Chains A and B, each alone.
Chain A
Amino acid sequence: MMAGQEKGDLSLVALTKSFATFTAVHPLDLTIPQGSFFALLGPSGCGKTTTLRMIAGLEEPSGGRIHIGDTDITETRAYQRNVNTVFQSYALFPHMSVMDNVMFGLRRRGDKNAKAKAGEILELVQLGQVADKKPTQLSGGMQQRVALARALVNRPDVLLLDEPLGALDLKLRRQMQMELKRIQQEVGLTFIHVTHDQEEAMTMADSIAVMNAGRIEQLGDPATLYEQPRSTFVANFLGQSNLVRAQVNPGGTDRIVTVRVHDTDLEVSREHLPYGVDDVWLGVRPEKLRLGEAGGPNQLRGIVRDVSFSGVATQYAVEMPWGQELIVVQQNDGSARAVLGETVSVSWAAHHGFALDASQDAAAGAELVEDHG
C-alpha cells in the first residue's frame, strides 16, 4: 500500500473525528487508487458519513491529513476541493431547473462550455428530455440521477456517494446500481460509495472497507472479504456464517492444520488460520456446507430441525450434538433433499473454512445486517 503515490490517489492518514463526548472516526489510514470503485460498508452510526464529509471538506477533522495525489487538501475549504458529493437527500436546488442544477458547479468555475457539458451528462443519465423541469417535478429515481449528473459533470478527482440509492425501491435500486457501475467505468473517476447494504457493496465495488464503530475492520476485494473474513464482525455482516468453537491441535503440515471441535478433528487451511492463536472460531459459509457424506475429513453429524424452501435453494438448520444449529444452504440442483428430523452428515472442503480469534464475540455484526437475501 505504500508503493508511492499515484497522481490522483486519495489517501487518508490517521484521519480522526471526535465530537464533544464521542469519537465518531478513530485514526483512519486508507489509500484509494485513482479510478477505482471503492465501497465503505458498515452499520448505521459507524462513521461512514462523517468520513465522507471530512473528505468533502464539510466537516473539519480533529486530526490527520487528507491527500489527493501529492496535494495535501486538509486545510482547504469545501468549495476549493476538486471533490463532489452525491448527497443521500440529493439536496437539489429547488428554485433551479434540472439544467441549471447540473450547470451549477461548472458555472461557479467559469466554464464556458457549461451548457454543452451539462447536456452531454444529462444524456448519459438519460434525462435529456427533462432538462427544463424543476427537480420537484421528477420522480425519486430521476432526482437521484440529477444529483449524480450534477456531481459527475465537474469531473472531480473523487466522487463521494452517500447512500445515494437508499430512498429507492428494490427494483430501481438494482437498476441504478448497474447504471452507476457503468457510468463509473465509462468516465473512469474514483467513486467512494457509502452504503450499509452488503449486497450492494459486493456487486458494485472493486474494493470494500468494512467499518465498525469508527474503525475499519477489514479492507479488500469483495471475494476476499467474503471468503476470508478476518473478524467475526465481517464474517457476520457480510453474508451469514456458521461459527463453531475449536481448539488448534499442535503440528500439522504447511498447508493443513487440524482443529478439535467437540471430540472431532477437522481440517482447515493454514493460510486461513490467524497466527499464534490456539482458541478459535471455525467458520464456514452456509452454501459451502454439503448434506451427505463427501468422504473428506470435515464431517459432522446432526439432526435436521428446520427446512425452508426458497426456489433456487433450500435452507436447513442442522442441530449438532452439542446443541448449536448450523445453517446449510443447498442449491436445488436435483441433489437429494433432507427431511425434518432426519439425521444427516454435513461436510465441507478444508479450504472453505476459516478460523478467527475466539476472543471475539461470535455474534458481532449479525444483528446489524438489514438485507438478508
Chain B
Amino acid sequence: MAEAAVLSTGSAAAPSRRRRSWVPYALLLPGLLWLVVFFVLPMVTLASQSLQEGNVDDGYVFTGNVGIYVDALQQYWPQYVRSLVYAGTATVLALLLGYPLAYFIAQKAGRYKNLILVLVIAPFFTSFLIRTLAWRTILSDDWFVTEWAQKLHITDFLQAVGLTSNDSLLSSKFAVIMGLTYNFLPFMILPLYTSLERLDPRLIEAAGDLYASAWQTFRRVTWPLSLPGVVAGTLLTFIPAAGDFINARLLGNTQTTMIGSVIDSQFLRVLDYPLAAALSFILLIIIVTMVSVYVRRAGTEELL
C-alpha cells in the first residue's frame, strides 16, 4: 500500500512540477513590466537627455556631449560633498536616536508596543512639506527654542563648531541636518524595530550567564543580530536624505544648498535639461557605488 502511494504521488508530481516551473515567471511579469515602464525607460531617457544639446525653444538634439559630466562635477562638486556629508550626519544621528527607541519598543514596551509604534509613524499622516515648515516655526528667532538655546549658550557652541553662522538656529547647516534627521527617523526606526523584535531575549540572558557584561552583551550579541535592521535603516535614511531638496530649501541658506536643490532648479527653473539629467545621473552613480560597497562590507560580517 505504501508502495502504491509513493508511485501515485511520483507520477502525479512529474507534470505538475513542469507546469509549476514557469508559473513564478508569469507572476513576475506585471512587476517586470512595471519596472521597465517606470524605471528602465525613464533611466534611458535621462541618460540620452544628458547627452543632448540645445534649448527649450529650439528643441534638443543628441550630440553625445560627454563633456557635460565633467562640467557638472567641476561646477557642483561642493553640493555633492555637502549632500553626502549632511545625509551621512543625519543617518548617524537617526541611528543614535532610533536604536535605543527601537530596542525599547521591541524588547521592553510590553503592551504599549503598538501605541508607541503608531506614535512613531504618526508624523506621516501629515505631508512632508508641512512637517518641514513646522520646523521653520520651531527654530524661528521669536520662538522659545531659540531663546533658550541662546540662554544656555547652545547657539554659541553651534556657531563655534560652524553649524550656524549667527545666533539664530534657522537658516543654517544645523537646521538642515536636524530637518533631515527628523524627517527620515521613522525609516530608521521601523527596520531596526523589526530586527530587534526578532531578537530572542533568552540569548541576552545566555550571554549574561556566560560572563558578558551589559556592554559586551550588546557588542557581541544584540548588535550583530540587529545588523540587518541597521543596514536597512541606514540605507532607507541615507538614500532619500542625500537626494532631498526640501529641507535645504526651507531650513537652510545659500551656503547649505544640496545637490537635490540644484537638480530641482536646473530642471524646473533654468530649464537646462541636459545638465539636470547629468547631475541626476552622477548622484545616482555615487549612491549606487557607495551603497554596494557598504552592503558588501556589512554583509560579510556574518548576517546570519
Q: What mask results when residues 84 to 97 of chain A are scored 1 for a CB within 8 Å of chain B, else 0?
A: 11010101111110
Instruction: Indicate if the CB atoms of A95 and B202 lie closer than 8 Å.
Output: no
CB of A150 closer than 8 Å to a CB of B: yes
Cα–Cα, bound, A93→B209 (Å): 13
Given contacts A95-B225, A95-B304, contact A85 B209 (CB under 8 A): yes
Instruction: Indicate if the CB atoms of A154 and B202 lie closer than 8 Å.
Output: no
Determine the chain B residues whose CB is within 8 A of the CB of A115 once the complex forms. Answer: none
Determine the chain B residues whose CB is within 8 A of the CB of A79 once the complex forms. Answer: 208-213
Determine the chain A residues whose CB is within 8 A of the CB of B212 once the complex forms. Answer: 79, 104, 108
Interface residues of A in 62-89 (CB under 8 A from B): 77-80, 83-85, 87, 89
Cα–Cα, bound, A80→B208 (Å): 9
Partner of A84, one of B203, B209, B225, B303: B209
Partner of B209, one of A56, A89, A94: A56
Interface residues of B in 150-191 (CB under 8 A from A): none
Instruction: Indicate if the CB atoms of A91 and B208 lie closer than 8 Å.
Output: no
Residue of B nearest to A104 (CB): B210
Cα–Cα, bound, A83→B206 (Å): 12
Instruction: Indicate if the CB atoms of B213 and A78 lie closer than 8 Å.
Output: no
Given contacts A79-B211, A79-B213, A109-B211, contact A93 B203 (CB under 8 A): yes
Q: What mask results when residues 42 to 73 of chain B are scored 1 for a CB within 8 Å of chain A, else 0?
A: 00000000000000000000000000000000
CB of A294 closer than 8 Å to a CB of B: no
Interface size, A (range): 20 to 34
Instruction: Indicate if the CB atoms of B203 and A91 lie closer than 8 Å.
Output: yes
User: How far does the Cβ of A168 sit from chain B's closest Cβ, in whole Å?
Assistant: 19
CB of B120 closer than 8 Å to a CB of A: no
Determine the chain A residues whose CB is within 8 A of the CB of B220 once the complex forms. Answer: 93, 104
Interface residues of B in 203-232 (CB under 8 A from A): 203, 205-213, 216, 220-221, 224-225
Q: What mask results when residues 273 to 304 of chain B are scored 1 for a CB within 8 Å of chain A, else 0?
A: 00000000000000000000000000000111
Determine the chain A residues whose CB is within 8 A of the CB of B141 once the complex forms. Answer: none
CB of A277 closer than 8 Å to a CB of B: no
Instruction: Indicate if the CB atoms of A95 and B208 lie closer than 8 Å.
Output: no
13 A–B contacts, CB within 8 A, in A order: A56-B209, A79-B211, A79-B212, A80-B211, A84-B210, A87-B202, A87-B206, A91-B202, A91-B205, A93-B206, A93-B221, A104-B210, A104-B220
List chain B positions with a Cβ less than 8 A from chain A: 200, 202-203, 205-213, 216, 220-221, 224-225, 302-304
Instruction: List 20 other contacts, CB 8 Å, given A79-B211, A94-B203.
Output: A58-B208, A80-B211, A85-B206, A85-B209, A87-B206, A93-B203, A93-B207, A93-B220, A95-B225, A95-B303, A104-B210, A108-B210, A108-B211, A108-B212, A108-B213, A109-B211, A150-B210, A151-B209, A151-B210, A154-B210
